């Protein structure tokens, strides 16, 4: 019998306050109708968008009004559905919002092509002569920058309308692995049975019983392999979609197309992979520490998620975790710290798991709402770090919304993971500075090291694998499941040389949904590198470094990602931030090594 409560049983103070967005569903319907009613008005600008500065300004302001309202309509419906995914009413509400978003995207699809039909001098003259149009200067610059990669208005509309179809490989993968594929049950060491799933397999691979971990590993991948050809086909067509869309937009490669959106040079991608692989010995050292901590002769793939720290993980109830997180962000100043505390008091967070609630965690909300955080808090160290992580996202969004107009508030994924990971780094430093218990310190370090391993190293390995697949497709090579296994197995063997690479793990690519997101994963690694370098600078230099960082958060999307990070004192065109992060990781490995050595001495 599950011990997970129904939502009605959760104390209100631990639920998010969605009534702050809409007190009644009738208010939601009014905003939904507002968007619907104004889409024809938006479409009326087609063919005359840039006839003069005043027309361009009025069209952009109308589009902002429509899209701001749509953002709130969509966010509310999605969050209501996430509270209890069994609720058909809110599923329908969310589906309506998604359809409306598609209609709005199609209605506004002519903006880019019509702006790009003008030369830079004409647009600059409009900005200079039209009060208010300067608000859109960065947006207009960015649209013009991609002029050579934008097709005619007719083609752009077709591409927009084809969005759902072009996303089919990802949807097929998601439905297959989350809805249709059923995994077997396995018997836990205590005699109870648990059904394997995409969501729980990693958690189960952290269990202390090694035989059980092996059973989980082999059972999961044997079942996943029964749909290997289907997943392989879906991934093949996703890669082909990326390649063909890039060619449609006059890019040489799919990678160039993906990185051009946030204006990231491909050299940044290459520098990440090269710097990480130059430091691969640090990951090998971590693997050896894990082998020692587990007391095994050979590290197997089913051992990789098991903690280095011995014994059960200490508990941190939510209120205690909240206190630690608030204290940890003190180096960012009293105002930032106050915002965190006040936000949690104002029911930003939906804290505990309930039956039917969406799994995982995220930071949500819109330009016109307070931040919202979905958690499934479990009274453990990992949940405490997740709280710090999502609060980083929330404060970033809030600061950007306060200091930028709507058009410039949203920031690129390339910088999105920075604020969240800065908070994690500050939390690690705070816990290690204030907690003396060696057992707790071991588990704090383990959490930090595992997050680093699974983000900077693992996601870089994913990024290299993803790029190799696209390069093969661009060269005309067939991406069969066997060929994909070969490429992935080679990368896994390089990164985890001290461990035994078995046939199951060569097929691990089948359980990674991010490979359907088109050059997405490298940004986790660059984000973590930048964040650790920033946190290191804040902890060593103090207020001036913190001020630079907060100024960067306030920029939102008003500047390109590399410029935003330069404001925080970080140059991502150089390998230095990546190397700094790797050096901090090495120092944390030293600390763990010392603690393990002390344990071994005590045992002797």
Backbone angles phi, psi at 51, to 5 degrees: -65, -30
Residue of 118, 156, 353, 390 with catalytic role: 390
Answer yes or no: are the C-beta atoms of 550 and 336 closer than 8 Å: yes
Answer yes or no: are the C-beta atoms of 580 and 536 closer than 8 Å: yes
DSSP H/E element including 441:
helix 438-452
390 is catalytic: yes
List of residues 6+ apart from 357 with CB closer than 8 A: 7, 82, 83, 84, 85, 350, 376
Going from the C-alpha of 482 to that of each of 224, 226, 463, 472, 506, the distances in angstroms are 15, 14, 19, 14, 10
β-pairing, 499-500 vs 299-300, is: parallel
Cα–Cα distance for residue pair 270/292, rounded to 1 Å: 33
Q: Within a 10 A sphere around the Cβ of 530, how many other Cβ atoms? A: 29
β-pairing, 349-352 vs 372-377, is: parallel
Cα–Cα distance for residue pair 353/355, rounded to 1 Å: 7
Q: How far is CA 103 from the centre of its chain?
A: 26
Answer yes or no: are the C-beta atoms of 452 and 528 closer than 8 Å: yes
Q: List the one residue out of 592, 31, 495 whose CA is nearest residue 280.
A: 495
DSSP letter string, 124-140: HHHHHHSTTGGGGHHHH
Going from the C-alpha of 509 to that of each of 182, 501, 540, 603, the distances in angstroms are 18, 14, 39, 40
Residue for token digits 């939601």? 28
Q: Active-site positions?
A: 390
């Amino acid at each position: 019998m599950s011990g997970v409560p129904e939502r009605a049983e959760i104390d209100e103070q631990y639920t998010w306050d969605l009534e702050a967005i809409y007190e009644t569903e009738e208010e939601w319907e009014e905003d939904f109708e507002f968007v619907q009613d104004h889409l024809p008005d938006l479409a009326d600008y087609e063919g005359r968008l840039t006839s003069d500065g005043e027309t361009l300004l009025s069209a952009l302001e109308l589009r902002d009004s429509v899209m701001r309202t749509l953002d709130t309509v969509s966010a509310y419906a999605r969050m209501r559905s996430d509270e209890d995914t069994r609720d058909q009413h809110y599923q329908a509400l969310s589906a309506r919002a998604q359809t409306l978003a598609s209609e709005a995207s199609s209605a506004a699809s002519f903006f880019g092509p019509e702006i790009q039909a003008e030369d830079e001098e004409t647009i600059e003259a409009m900005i200079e002569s039209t009060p208010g149009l300067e608000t859109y200067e960065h947006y207009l610059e960015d649209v013009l920058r991609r002029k050579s990669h934008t097709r005619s208005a007719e083609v752009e509309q077709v591409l927009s309308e084809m969005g759902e179809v072009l996303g089919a490989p990802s949807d097929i993968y998601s439905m297959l692995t989350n809805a249709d594929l059923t995994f077997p049950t396995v018997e836990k060491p205590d005699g109870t049975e648990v059904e394997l799933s995409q969501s729980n397999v990693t958690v189960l691979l952290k269990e202390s019983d090694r035989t059980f971990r092996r059973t989980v590993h082999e059972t999961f991948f044997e079942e996943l392999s029964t749909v290997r050809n289907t997943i392989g086909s879906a991934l093949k067509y996703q890669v082909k979609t990326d390649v063909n869309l890039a060619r449609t937009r006059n890019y040489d490669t799919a990678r160039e197309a993906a990185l051009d959106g946030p204006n990231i040079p491909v050299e940044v991608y290459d520098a990440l992979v090269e710097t990480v692989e130059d430091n691969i010995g640090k990951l090998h050292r971590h693997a050896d520490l894990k082998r020692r901590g587990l007391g095994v002769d050979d590290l197997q793939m089913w051992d990789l998620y098991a903690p280095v720290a011995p014994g059960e993980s200490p508990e941190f109830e939510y209120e205690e975790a909240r206190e630690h997180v608030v204290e940890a962000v003190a180096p960012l100043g009293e105002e930032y710290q106050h915002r965190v505390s006040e936000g949690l008091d104002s029911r930003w967070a939906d804290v505990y798991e309930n039956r039917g609630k969406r799994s995982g965690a995220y930071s949500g909300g819109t330009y016109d709402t307070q931040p919202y955080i979905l958690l499934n808090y479990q009274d453990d160290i990992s949940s405490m770090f997740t709280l710090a992580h999502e609060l980083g996202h929330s404060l970033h969004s809030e600061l950007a919304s306060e200091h930028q107009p709507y058009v410039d508030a949203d920031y690129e994924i390339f910088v999105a993971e920075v604020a969240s990971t800065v908070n994690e780094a500050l939390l690690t430093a705070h816990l290690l500075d204030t907690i003396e218990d060696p057992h707790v310190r071991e588990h704090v370090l383990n959490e930090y090291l595992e997050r680093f391993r699974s983000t900077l190293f693992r996601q870089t390995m994913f990024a290299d694998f993803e790029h190799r697949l696209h390069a093969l497709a661009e060269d005309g090579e067939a991406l069969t499941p066997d060929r994909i296994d070969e490429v992935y197995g080679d990368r896994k063997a390089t990164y985890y040389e001290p461990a035994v690479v078995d046939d199951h793990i060569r097929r691990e690519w089948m359980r990674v949904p991010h490979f359907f997101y088109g050059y997405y994963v490298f940004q986790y690694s660059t984000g973590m590198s930048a964040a650790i370098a920033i946190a290191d600078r804040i902890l060593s230099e103090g207020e001036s470094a913190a001020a630079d960082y907060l100024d960067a958060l306030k920029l939102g999307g008003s500047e390109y990602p590399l410029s935003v990070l330069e404001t925080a004192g970080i140059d991502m065109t150089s390998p230095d931030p990546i190397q700094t992060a790797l050096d901090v990781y090495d120092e944390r490995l030293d600390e763990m090594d010392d603690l393990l050595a002390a344990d071994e001495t005590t045992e002797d």
